[in-house]
């Protein structure tokens, strides 16, 4: 089911689609590919929205930088210095976080209106990103298919092709509060991550050196423990790149009993505890678990490659599963 959600200043309509299956209700916007809400039951069967979002379009337009629920690209995370070299040519990107390019630039995929087509148990979002958009080379045809499976898990499947060599890194930027959005924060949430390494960063949050062992550090989530605060870091998942999604994370709220599992084909996961999140939610109101390739990979040949060439098909898949215990 779709409905008009709002209208941009240039008159472009924004629609909202509602997906419902197995007791889970998810709402998706054509603007930014945003997951506006995800209503799931707690251990008593009471349903609440576990994704931070806004009731109207104005909220997203007024608070764009946190990327609430958005489909992020062309390049999720950071590219150091806002530039990279590919096949001997240097490309200058929009610098929207100090000296760096963050989440696709000034007007990335999160601020575009996508074409939406219904599919079985979901929707397919698509758009053409022209050559030179935010400085990235190649005309990119990209799609993201959002579906609910028989268990109520939200499956995000991305595909893309290009007419010239480019770099690509896509993610969803939902903030989760398993107690219910606006319930008072995620301080009691417990996290497990299948990652024995993380990428140390410099003052600009650009990777500094090779992935480091998490043993004996605050980055060791191989056994479940409270998340706490102070995280905006990429974890190198032990499984690496896989053809099919593999479970890599579990977030648990003891108070409500809700459990979020994350499975992905991607080699990395950015844990962001939103310590500087502003109004209307406030610091620590949600936790982002962004499945993706590593930050600054275009400038790091030792990291898994994010290069996409003509004739190749980019594919990536992430599954957010919901349960209780």
- Whether residue 169 is annotated as binding a ligand: the answer is no
Write out the H or E segment, with its range, that includes residue 6: strand 2-7
Task: State the DSSP H helix or E strand holding residue 113, giving kind and residue range, or none if neither.
Answer: none
Catalytic residue among 39, 133, 266, 290: 290
Q: What is the rounded average pLDDT for all residues in the chain? A: 97
Q: Tell me, what's the pLDDT at 185?
A: 84
Check whether 146 is labelled as a binding-site residue: no
Is the model's pLDDT at 115 over the cut of 80?
A: yes
Report whether 131 belongs to an annotated binding site: no
Determine the pLDDT at residue 120: 97
Confidence of residue 1 (pLDDT cuts 50, 70, 90): confident
| Between 266 and 1, the higher pLDDT residue | 266
pLDDT band at 183 (very low <50, low <70, confident <90, very high): confident
pLDDT, tens only, 316-325: 999 999 999 9
- The b/e string for 121-157 (b: 16+ C-beta within 10 A; e otherwise) is ebbbbbbebeeebbbbbbebebbbbbbbeeebbbbbb
Domains of the chain: 2-319 (2.70.98.10)
- Is 232 marked as binding a ligand? yes
Q: Which helix (H) or strand (E) holds 20?
A: strand 13-21
Task: Provide the pLDDT confidence category of residue 287 given band limits of 50, 70 and 90.
Answer: very high
Helix (H), strand (E) at residue 59? helix 57-62
The annotation status of 96 as a binding-site residue, yes or no, is: no
Name the catalytic one among 39, 133, 134, 173. 173
Q: Three-state DSSP class for 60?
A: helix
Q: Does residue 310 surpass a pLDDT of 90?
A: yes
Residue 118 CA to residue 120 CA, distance in Å, equals: 7
Q: Is 223 a catalytic residue?
A: no
Residues 178, 190: contact at Cβ < 8 Å? no
Residue-level pLDDT at 265: 98
Task: Determine the average pLDDT of the residues in 271-300.
Answer: 95
Question: Does 103 qualify as catalytic in the annotation?
Answer: no
pLDDT at 279: 82
Hey, what long-range contacts does 214-222 have (CB within 8 A, 24 or more apart)?
221/191, 221/192, 221/193, 221/195, 222/192, 222/193, 222/194, 222/195, 222/196
- What pLDDT digit, counting tens, does each position of 212-238 carry? 999 999 999 999 999 999 999 999 999
Q: Is pLDDT at 30 greater than 90 in this prediction? A: yes
Dihedral, CA of residue 5, residue 143, residue 122 and residue 185, to nearest 10: -60
- Ligand-binding annotation for 316, yes or no, is no
Bond preceding residue 74 cis, omega within 30 of 0: yes
Contacts of 184 (CB under 8 A, 6+ apart): none
pLDDT digits (tens, 9 = 90+) for 231-268: 999 999 999 999 999 999 999 999 999 999 999 999 99
The pLDDT score that the predictor gives to residue 262 is: 98
Residue 103, Cβ neighbours under 10 Å: how many?
A: 25
Q: Please identify which residue in the block is written with the tokens 């609440």.
A: 48
- The residues, ordered by sequence, that sit 6+ positions from 126 with a Cβ below 8 Å of its Cβ are 114, 115, 117, 141, 142, 143, 144
User: pLDDT tens for residues 134-168?
Assistant: 999 999 999 999 999 999 999 999 999 999 999 99
The whole-number pLDDT of residue 302 equals 97
């Amino acid at each position: 089911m779709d409905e008009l959600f709002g209208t941009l200043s240039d008159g472009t309509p924004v629609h909202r689609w509602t997906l419902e299956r197995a007791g889970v209700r998810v709402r998706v916007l054509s603007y930014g590919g945003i997951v506006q809400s995800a209503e799931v039951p707690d251990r008593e069967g009471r349903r609440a929205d576990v994704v931070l979002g806004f009731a109207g379009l104005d909220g997203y337009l007024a608070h764009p930088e946190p990327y609430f629920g958005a489909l992020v690209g062309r390049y999720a995370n950071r590219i150091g210095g806002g530039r990279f070299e590919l096949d001997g040519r240097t490309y200058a990107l929009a610098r929207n976080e100090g000296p760096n390019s963050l989440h696709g630039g000034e007007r990335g995929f999160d601020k575009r209106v996508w074409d939406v087509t219904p599919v079985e148990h979901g929707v397919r979002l698509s758009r053409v990103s022209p050559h030179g958009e935010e400085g990235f080379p190649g005309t990119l045809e990209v799609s993201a298919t959002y579906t609910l499976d028989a268990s109520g898990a939200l499956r995000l499947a991305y595909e893309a092709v290009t007419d010239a060599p480019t770099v690509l890194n896509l993610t969803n930027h939902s903030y989760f509060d398993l107690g219910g959005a606006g319930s008072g924060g995620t301080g009691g949430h417990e996290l497990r991550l299948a990652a024995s390494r993380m990428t140390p960063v410099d003052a600009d949050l650009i990777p500094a050196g090779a992935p480091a062992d998490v043993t004996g550090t605050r980055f060791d989530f191989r056994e479940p423990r409270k998340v706490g605060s102070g995280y905006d870091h990429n974890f190198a998942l032990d499984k690496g790149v896989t053809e099919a999604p593999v479970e890599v994370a579990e977030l648990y709220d003891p108070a409500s009993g809700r459990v979020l599992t994350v499975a992905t084909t991607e080699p990395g996961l950015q844990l962001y505890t939103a310590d500087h999140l502003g109004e209307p939610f406030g610091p620590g109101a949600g936790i982002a678990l962004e499945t993706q390739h590593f930050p600054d990979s275009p400038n790091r040949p030792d990291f898994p490659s994010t290069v996409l060439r003509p004739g190749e098909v980019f594919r990536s898949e992430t599954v957010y599963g919901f349960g209780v215990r």
